[in-house]
Chains A and B, each alone.
Chain A
Amino acid sequence: GNSVTQMEGPVTLSEEAFLTINCTYTATGYPSLFWYVQYPGEGLQLLLKATKADDKGSNKGFEATYRKETTSFHLEKGSVQVSDSAVYFCALTPIIQGAQKLVFGQGTRLTINP
């Protein structure tokens, strides 16, 4: 079946540190891959996405590259800020089942200390 596995949190870093949140997936075919972010008290927001192999999604200094050979979509940021503290979800839409069903990872809580 289709599934997403994220690195287990919580993750705590100091400001300006380098961030990596690992995400691997299992899916049939070529799914679209997403990172969503949930700030405290708010709904999930799309952070970035990639729809085919070797695509790189980027937004707000975050990047993730669709790696089909390793079935991964790791989230990275070179220098994190306190305002990046949130819960991050990796997700996919399995092509075969249609575009409407998002499959999520369990989420990774990130805390950035000043």
Chain B
Amino acid sequence: GAVVSQHPSRVICKSGTSVKIECRSLDFQATTMFWYRQFPKKSLMLMATSNEGSKATYEQGVEKDKFLINHASLTLSTLTVTSAHPEDSSFYICSALPGQGYGYTFGSGTRLTVV
């Protein structure tokens, strides 16, 4: 139990286009999900906390208009990278807290390459 599914696993897009990444909790409800970004040879950095039915909470330095987060249901959060540029190329990973005893559960991540 407590599986988080992330899709797509890899995506290549052209500069200026937008890309949507989905994060689904398959067997539990997640009122809160977390979006991380990892640069090569760097830590996973928390970008934002996604809250079901309300606005996401962004970490300092993360552009809200660039990284749009929608958490419209208890099992789905989406991250849309708008007007993507090559510097947005990175590994994005989502996480949720299923509840007592499970700890943080992570998706398998999305490798975004902007060309």
A35-89 interface (Cβ within 8 A of B): 36, 41-46, 49, 89
- Contact residues in B for A102 (Cβ distance below 8 Å): 34, 44, 46, 95, 104
Quick one: given A100-B34, A101-B46, A102-B46, are A43 and B107 in contact (CB under 8 Å)? yes
- When each residue 55-69 of chain B gets 1 if its CB lies under 8 Å from chain A and 0 otherwise, what string results? 000000000000000
Quick one: given A41-B108, A43-B108, are A105 and B43 in contact (CB under 8 Å)? yes
Interface contact A46-B44, CB-CB below 8 Å: no
Interface contact B106-A43, CB-CB below 8 Å: yes
Interface size on B, residues (CB 8 A): 24
- Contact residues in A for B38 (Cβ distance below 8 Å): 107
- Contact residues in B for A45 (Cβ distance below 8 Å): 106
Interface contact A43-B6, CB-CB below 8 Å: yes
Interface contact A104-B43, CB-CB below 8 Å: yes
A33 at the interface (CB under 8 A from B): no
In the docked arrangement, what's the CA distance between A103 and B9, Å? 23
B interface with A by C-beta (< 8 Å): 4, 6, 9, 32, 34, 36, 38, 41-46, 49, 93, 95, 97, 103-109
A interface with B by C-beta (< 8 Å): 4, 8, 34, 36, 41-46, 49, 89, 100-107
Please name 18 further chain A to chain B contacts, defined as beta carbons within 8 Å, in addition to the given A36-B106, A43-B109, sorted by A numbering: A4-B43, A41-B108, A42-B108, A43-B93, A43-B105, A44-B93, A45-B106, A46-B103, A100-B34, A100-B97, A101-B49, A102-B44, A102-B95, A103-B46, A104-B43, A105-B43, A106-B42, A107-B43
